[in-house]
Chains A and B, each alone.
Chain A
Amino acid sequence: MPGDVQIRCRNLWKVFGADPRGFMRRHDGRPTAQALRDEGYIGAVQDVSFDVHQGEILIIMGLSGSGKSTLIRCITRLNDPTTGEMEYEGRDLLKLSERELIDIRRHRFGMVFQNFGLLPHRDVLENVAFPLEVQGIARAERVDRAKKMIDLVGLGGRESYFPRELSGGQQQRVGIARSLAVEPDIWFLDEPFSALDPLIRAEMQDEFLRLQSMLHKTIVFITHDFEEATKLADRIGIMKDGRMVQLATPEELVLNPADDYVAEFAKNAPRERIVSVGAIMQTPTDAALGAVPMTAKIGSVAEQVLTADGPVAVTDASGERIVGSIDRATVTAAIFGGRGPEARAA
């Protein structure tokens, strides 16, 4: 169940050019792609609306230039949006004073950067303690808290190393520890693992899930890697040319892509790990053997279904009631590119 809305964005626009505000005014706040092109403006974020719920991992995905980095910078107010509304826990983010904004950043927001953004002149401990230092927390306490964070990300013993002496994965662990040091409510991650090698990336993704299982933060996570998105996300928002084309669960994206662009991403997704039995099951039949829960991902039941001599019964989450059945053909079709029974029927 989604928790309360923490961040609420409505009709966000970020336009780059000579006079973005004037341009937006001239076009009643809704310029067409043609108008942008004709007048030499770039619509990095165009009319984006969405909510971020308490405790969820919302992943914003898109290719480079799709506006995802600009969007996260609008929400964190590193770049101010041209027009639109943003609320954080009911407070208007765009009306904050300098002081209030700094206050929110000091206590509520934490952010991890693609290229780590570590301060080269400070060692690991001083980097992690930095957000606490700028708040004016006494040395003893901030060292204490920073050490806890360093242990949390598995870098204990390297406190006196400098960023340049660490590997990429280790540097990003420092970045993560730093962003968590203030115990933020919302955790922003801007392509945190994109600069890392594939093996390290997978390791860091597991690390990330481990941390989240302990911390239960509200997370806004940017990536250009669909596989990463499906592995980590509760919901994924796909961006293209500044617009959010679809915002849904990974399963929904795979099964019901909003357009060809989303479908193209979804094509190579590891369906067996995304699609659950409940989403593709058919009506119950009496001939069904055995039983699999409807919440299970099809990958985990594939062997059982494929080796069975006939359809397998599907039970509800509690395992008590039979709600459907699933057979070999349905599973194969779901894994190898079909779209489930509805698609085949159509």
Chain B
Amino acid sequence: MTEATAPTTPRADGEGVSLAALPLWGRFAAIIVAGVLLSLVWDGATRWPEAWTLPLAQWITDFINWLKSEATVFGVEFKAITRGIGTALEMPVDWAEYLLYRGFKKVGLDLGPLPWIAVAAGVTIFAHWVGGWRLALLCGLSMLYLATFNVWKDAMRTMTIVVVAVPMAAFIGIALGIWVTRSKTAARIISPMFDLMQATPHMAYLAPVAALFAFGPVTALIATVVFAMPPMARCTILGLQTVSSDVVEAGQMSGCTKRQLLWKVALPSSKRTLMLGLNQVVMQTLAMVVIASIAGATGLGHKLLYSLQQLRLGVAIEQGIAISLIAIVLDRLTQAYAYKETDHFASEKTWAQRHKHMLLFLVILVGSYVLAEFHRWASIPPSKFVWGAGDAKVVLFDAKLLARHMDQAIRDFNVVAFDYINPIRDWVTLWILIPVRNFFLWLPWPVFFGVVSLAAWRLGGKSVMLLCMALMASFIVTGFWVETMKTTYLVLIAAALCVLIGVPLGIWAARSERAAKIIMPICDTLQTFPSFIYLIPAIMLFRIGDFANIFAIIPYATVPAIRYTYLGLKRIPAVTVEAGIANGATRMQRLFKVELPVALPEIMLGLNQTIMMALAMTAITALIGSTDLGQEVVRSISTQDFGRGILAGFFIAALGIIADRLIGSWAAERKRQLGVA
């Protein structure tokens, strides 16, 4: 940090001494001019010379292929190990499949899957138990939607992976979390790994796992567990570290052994934080399962991707709503469970009173199985609902027909709307997107490298600078410069738009209770949805292209910009604002001279999150067409060029980490200055 506070410290090397004599803007200018001049005399400054390119991608691909075919560990073939793991993991997946939609015929039992009535009733009853009538109503209606809109079986396919992955991810996450709080070595190794894992887009997990375990549910399961586990570990660490010292000491003075202290004191008293972790695990699992469709997981995500690629938007909307409803139900149920109060007077009630929810469910379960014996529709919901038979047959509801009508409506709408939409899209593309894109493609890498390094040094000191330099060097020397710049351009424009939309909304919400009551719940809900969903409106309105991609990123990545602005403004001490008012500031002066400057570090952290989410989204938008790093990730899964996919995923993470370190260092320093750290 001393470097950051003493920027004029002369450096040892010759260039540094002359640079140090300049003011900060002068040093930036010198780097830019030098870089541009260099690019004029040397082509290698624009495109890293092919001859010098490190074939890292090829090495990784070769290594994975070697692992798959020849490698042995202690005399056991590596592929036998992965096959063993695969078989072991297939078992719980199989049983979940039997239970949810296949039925138990395969294992010699004449028993169907859980009838949909039983599942829907079970979810509703559970919702009532944890959250009362309102939650029960929400969950009940959502389940009815799944049953009537011809998505039940696919929803159950999706849930198969969820129900297997969640306990695994939670268990591993808690175990790792405990380990990190116990061992300094573990903390040193695992914490930075989590940082990297969190910055890596979902999609990048799929390629290497698919490479080793082949396509199918097991690959989806493994990728999902790996992806969904870090939040659980983080929450465990947070929970264990924030147990109040009085509570821990009370445990010690009660004579707890170390083990008792962990299991009876620390873990249970951080239950709320752990449940928050579980909620995140569930949500991340769902998001990942939906995306895992491209690596062979069947289910709603798979169907949605298929519908989108065929431009069958009506069905896509029906499926998208189904995914969103599942997300909302899972989110609300886990949250309600976390905050559930214990019944004080349980001991005064009879056994039946205490277990009425369970009993009701058992009755419905048995009843629905009996019903399913006689009527197929009671087992799996029919694709359309009809009343009567023969000539008197009346179609009550047909989801497919509705989808076709929606398709037609969307087409009609587009015919009219394109007259208005297309000019806007074309204008923005021509005058904003293409120039910015061309700028980034023209940008000589030494300029980018130098400017970011200097900024990193100025903001975070030497260690941040070295980290950023290493990350930048990694995509320059491996020949990913062009793809990385395309991603940078897309993300910067999307982030700028998110800030333009999000910050004013956040200010509005902070100023008006009524606005906050509308905006904040919408933010919560937007964050609940798997990112995949946001492709639907983008395709509907703009088909494909960078404009559509940016449009898909915005609803997803604007949320943190709104939320951090809102929280940053809300957290300003009342006395600071009152002092401004007492000094005679107008509303506008109060905002621009008091509130925004104090809240700025928090708002910048929001920008940081926005960039991270936009980066993650670029790997999703690649599904509908792009040419950046995200596309490399997606393509690698089908081309089996795993090295390129893994590296591209890593570089998306690298961009995220660079942004995080730059903005994070600035915000931390600024908060320290403002005394609000």
Task: Give me the interface of A with B, judged by CB distance under 8 Å.
Answer: 73, 76, 78, 102-103, 105-107, 109-111, 113-123, 130-131, 133-135, 160-162, 175, 178-179, 182, 188
Contact = CB atoms under 8 A, between A and B. Distances in A.
B328 to A, nearest CB: 28
Closest 7 A/B residue pairs (Cβ): A106-B255, A117-B250, A117-B246, A131-B254, A105-B255, A111-B253, A113-B246
A173 B672 CA distance: 40
Nearest to A106: B255
Interface stretch (B205-213, B261-269, B396-404, B518-526): B261-269
B670 interface: no
Interface stretch (B45-53, B339-347, B452-460, B561-569): B339-347
B249 interface: yes
B260 A134 contact: yes
A121 B269 contact: yes
A103 B244 CA distance: 24
Given A111-B249, A160-B344, A178-B250, A117 B244 contact: yes
Given A117-B246, A123-B342, A134-B255, 14 more contacts: A102-B255, A107-B255, A111-B250, A115-B246, A117-B249, A117-B250, A119-B250, A119-B268, A120-B247, A121-B268, A134-B256, A134-B260, A135-B255, A182-B255
A109 B260 CA distance: 18
Nearest to A108: B255
B271 interface: yes
A175 B251 CA distance: 12
B673 interface: no
A173 B255 CA distance: 20
Given A121-B268, A134-B260, A162-B342, A105 B246 contact: no
Contacts of B260: 134
Q: B interface, how many residues as a size bin? A: 20 to 34
Interface in B235-278: 244, 246-257, 260, 264-265, 268-269, 271
B261 to A, nearest CB: 9
A114 B250 CA distance: 11
Contacts of B247: 117-120
A126 B264 CA distance: 11
Interface hub of A103, A120, A123, A178 (most chain B Cβ within 10 A):
A120
Contacts of B347: 160
A115 B268 contact: no
Nearest to B252: A78
Interface of B: 244, 246-257, 260, 264-265, 268-269, 271, 342, 344-345, 347
B255 A113 contact: no
Contact of A121 (B246, B257, B271): B271
B210 to A, nearest CB: 42
8 contacts: A78-B253, A107-B255, A110-B253, A111-B253, A119-B250, A120-B247, A121-B271, A130-B264
B98 to A, nearest CB: 36
A178 B254 contact: yes
Contacts of B252: 78, 105
Contacts of A175: 250
Interface hub of B247, B251, B253, B257 (most chain A Cβ within 10 A):
B253
Contacts of B268: 119, 121-122
Contact of A118 (B250, B253, B256): B250
A73 B244 CA distance: 16
Contacts of A119: 247, 250-251, 265, 268-269
Contacts of B344: 123, 160-161
Contacts of B248: 117
Contacts of A107: 255
Nearest to B247: A117
Contact of B254 (A105, A114, A115): A105
A102 B249 contact: no
A110 B347 CA distance: 30
A113 B254 contact: no
A131 B344 CA distance: 22
Contacts of A133: 264
Contact of B246 (A76, A102, A109, A116): A116
A103 B255 contact: yes
Contact of B269 (A103, A120, A123, A131): A120
A161 B341 CA distance: 11
B254 A134 contact: yes
B459 to A, nearest CB: 28
Interface hub of B244, B246, B342 (most chain A Cβ within 10 A):
B246
A117 B261 CA distance: 13
B356 to A, nearest CB: 20
A110 B255 CA distance: 10
Nearest to B250: A117
A130 B271 contact: no
A109 B250 CA distance: 11
Contacts of B251: 119
A120 B248 CA distance: 12
Contacts of B256: 102, 134
A144 to B, nearest CB: 16
A102 B254 CA distance: 8
B246 A130 contact: no
B264 to A, nearest CB: 7
B255 A76 contact: no
Nearest to B254: A131
A136 B221 CA distance: 41
A128 B438 CA distance: 70
A68 B21 CA distance: 54
A115 B260 CA distance: 21
B572 to A, nearest CB: 28
Interface hub of A117, A131, A175 (most chain B Cβ within 10 A):
A117
A157 to B, nearest CB: 11
A121 B247 CA distance: 11
Contacts of A111: 249-250, 253
